[in-house]
Amino acid sequence: MKFTADVIISLKKGVIDPEGEATKKALNLLGFRNVNRVESMKIFRIELSAKTKEDAEDMLRDMCDRLLANPVIQDYSIRWVE
């Protein structure tokens, strides 16, 4: 079976986000003074073949642990795409 998921990579709480901070500052300078916080994230849409959804999720978690996310500073979540 084929499965599609979005893998969302974000910085852990407490880790400084220079890209998010720079974007917030730029938005404020453009007059969007009501913007209080901007967080940058990365999304990978991955389609894979597996016998079950559980097998697919195990593969995605392995991909995140081995390549897609830096476990020291990043968290990840998996969202299934219908």
At 47-67, the pLDDT tens digits run 999 999 999 999 999 999 999
Other beta carbons within 10 angstroms of residue 8's beta carbon come to 15
- pLDDT of 59: 98
Burial level of 5, CB count in 10 A (0-12/13-18/19+)?
A: buried
- The pLDDT tens digits of the residues spanning 8-36 come to 999 999 999 999 999 999 999 999 999 99
pTM summary value: 0.88
Quote the tokens at residue 73: 């500073």
- pLDDT of 27: 98
Question: How long is the chain?
Answer: 82
Rg, the chain, Cα only:
16
The order of strands in the sheet holding 2-11 is 41-49, 2-11, 74-81
Other beta carbons within 10 angstroms of residue 56's beta carbon come to 22
